[in-house]
Amino acid sequence: MTVKLTDEAAHAHAMTCPGAEPAGYGLGRAGWVRVPLEPEGAPAAGLLRDWVEESYRTIAPKRLAAELDAR
């Protein structure tokens, strides 16, 4: 799974996961991280959900990101 994490703490935490690495094609420089989902050492489901939401809020248009708050 690849997510864009602009929060430095979240990015640093994601990079500590076994097998995690900056995303390819130079995207790692922009905060994109590839996190493997193998059972051993995989982040908890709640943490993955938080990372996906942060990533979505970072790249989605503001109107669509605001819809998350309305739920």
Count of domains in the chain? Answer: 1
Structural domain containing residue 64:
2-70
Residues in the chain: 71
* pLDDT tens over the chain, length 71 residues: 999 999 999 999 999 999 999 999 999 999 999 999 987 888 999 999 999 999 999 999 999 999 988 87
